[in-house]
Amino acid sequence: MLIIPAIDIKDGRCVRLRQGRMDDETVFSDDPVSVAQRWVDQGAQRLHIVDLDGARAGKPANLSIIEQITQNHPKIPIQVGGGIRSEETIQTYLNVGVRYTVIGTRAVREPHFVEELCLEFPGHIIVGLDAKDGKVATDGWSKLSHHDAIDLAQHFVQEGVASIIFTDISRDGMMQGVNVDSTVELAQALPIPIIASGGVSTLEDIKALQAVADEGISGAIIGRALYEGSIDLQQALALTSD
């Protein structure tokens, strides 16, 4: 199971939000490029980058920073989300070295859009499903849709997505532990890998996910816990390398 450090960029800085609220941020670094270097130096084999400004604007807002990170680490698969609403944006990211693009809001609003992307960029499309009480949220988590997370994920599998990132937004940034049951429920319903996100706050959470990884959980994205020190990246990598 991959341990994937999260780098959330807002106003050019590395921040973490609580439950996706733009007005509840903690700044951890003014230099996301150096943060990426730190995680790679400690052994990270993939990075998860979110352009928070892009999520609000509906288009990339921190492209130059992301490009700098991909150029510094050409062998590290990097997945980017936040404001990816067009084929042109995906092509731009792939051109600068991003491996996977994460589609969120537009995937929920226009599921057929995902099918078009998977045909044009096979193997490069990940859908991010952010859910609360089983319902999918959109627009930077500010709106809850009527879509059931499992039903929607099964649809995206048919369209050809590479994997699904599943975030329980009630847990994200709250240091309350990962929602293992919901993550396993989704993984068991799908034939493609699930990446867990939201609430991973201790090594015990890592152990709990690792114990059910065979159900189809290929990775865990970790944010605030790494920055506040409640999870040591190298210890987490050691737990999952056996």
pLDDT score of 219 more than 70: yes
pLDDT (mean) for 186-199: 94
Looking at residue 173, its pLDDT comes to 46
List, for residues 22-61, the tens digit of each pLDDT value: 666 788 899 999 999 999 999 999 999 999 999 889 899 9
CB atoms < 10 A from the CB of 180, how many? 18
- For residues 88, 93, 99, 102, the Cα torsion angle rounded to the nearest 10 degrees is -70
Confidence grade of residue 67 (pLDDT, cut at 50, 70, 90): very high
Looking at residue 88, its pLDDT comes to 96
23-28 contact pairs (CB < 8 A, 24+): 24/173, 26/224, 26/227, 28/227
From first CA to last CA, the distance across the chain in angstroms is 10
Confidence grade of residue 141 (pLDDT, cut at 50, 70, 90): very low
Looking at residue 13, its pLDDT comes to 94
Q: Indicate if 151 belongs to the active site.
A: no
Q: Indicate if 53 belongs to the active site.
A: no
Higher pLDDT, 143 or 102: 102
100: left (phi over 0), alpha (psi -120 to 50) or beta: beta
pTM of the shown model: 0.91
Catalytic residue among 8, 51, 168, 172: 8
pLDDT score of 68 more than 70: yes
Mean pLDDT of the chain: 89
pLDDT (mean) for 60-74: 97
Confidence grade of residue 163 (pLDDT, cut at 50, 70, 90): very high
CA angle 224, 228, 234 (to 5 degrees): 90
Catalytic residue among 23, 31, 53, 130: 130
